[in-house]
């Protein structure tokens, strides 16, 4: 008579694997600014920026304070907040930290007024945030959604508008003495 013996095997226990959340998956890993000699900004892991409408008291643990205290850069992982916006921090090849503001600069050819291009700007997903009285062919734009991360996806669409000469996101950096 044959007997069958069933042996149950289980996999050996392994250490629990935890993945750090990518808080900034909506942001590009790299941002290229300029056409002739483009400057490449790379997302810097381990840093985040907190954007506030009101200037903050200078935080002692901030790595960098920008925009008159409205943006503070910290090392580590962001803590969820309800009133402030959190964004990634980027670096230039030399290591300088840079923070996107959510604004995008656009400049048309000298004879093209920003007002005349309002429909194309809106179709690309942006609205005029600030007109420049000294340059009617240029303006600061923001994403219509109001989300800082939405400033990046439509840049190529803005660049494709006829007579556009320059489009670049605003990146704030620490002021350096020359």
pLDDT of residue 154 exceeding 80: yes
pLDDT of residue 77 exceeding 60: yes
Of 169, 174, 150, 44, which is closest to residue 101 (Cα–Cα)? Answer: 169
Alpha helices in the chain (DSSP H): 118-123, 155-159
Q: Residues 6 or more apart from 58 whose CB is under 8 A from it? A: 65, 69
| Continuous segment of H or E residues that includes residue 47 | strand 39-51
CA 121, distance to chain mean position in Å, is 19
Domain boundaries, the chain: 30-172
DSSP 8-state class, residue 128: E
What pLDDT, on a 0 to 100 scale, did the predictor assign at position 57?
A: 58
pLDDT of residue 86 exceeding 50: yes
Q: From CA 6, how far away is CA 3, in angstroms rounded?
A: 10
pTM higher than the cut 0.85: no
Q: From CA 55, how far away is CA 35, in angstroms rounded?
A: 34
Q: Residues 6 or more apart from 32 whose CB is under 8 A from it? A: 38, 39, 40, 41
**Angstrom distances, CA of residue 53 to CA of 11, 78, 83, 138:** 53, 18, 9, 25
Of 103, 96, 108, which is closest to residue 44 (Cα–Cα)? Answer: 96
Q: Dump pLDDT digits (tens) for 1-40.
A: 444 444 444 344 544 444 456 789 899 999 988 777 888 9
């Amino acid at each position: 008579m044959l007997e069958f013996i069933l042996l149950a095997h289980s996999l050996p226990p392994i250490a629990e694997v935890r993945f750090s959340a990518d808080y900034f998956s909506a942001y590009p890993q790299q941002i290229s600014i300029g056409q002739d000699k483009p400057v490449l900004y790379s997302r810097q892991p381990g840093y985040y920026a907190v954007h506030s409408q009101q200037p903050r008291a200078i935080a002692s643990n901030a790595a960098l304070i920008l925009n008159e205290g409205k943006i503070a850069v910290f090392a580590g992982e962001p803590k969820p907040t309800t009133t402030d916006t959190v964004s990634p921090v980027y670096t230039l090849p030399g290591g300088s930290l840079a923070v996107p503001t959510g604004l995008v600069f656009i400049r048309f050819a000298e004879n093209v007024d920003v007002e005349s291009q309002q429909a194309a700007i809106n179709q690309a997903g942006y609205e005029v945030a600030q007109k420049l009285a000294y340059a009617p062919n240029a303006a600061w734009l923001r994403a219509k959604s109001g989300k800082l991360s939405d400033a990046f996806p439509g840049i190529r669409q803005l660049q494709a508008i006829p007579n556009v000469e320059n489009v670049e996101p605003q990146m704030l950096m620490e002021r350096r003495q020359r």
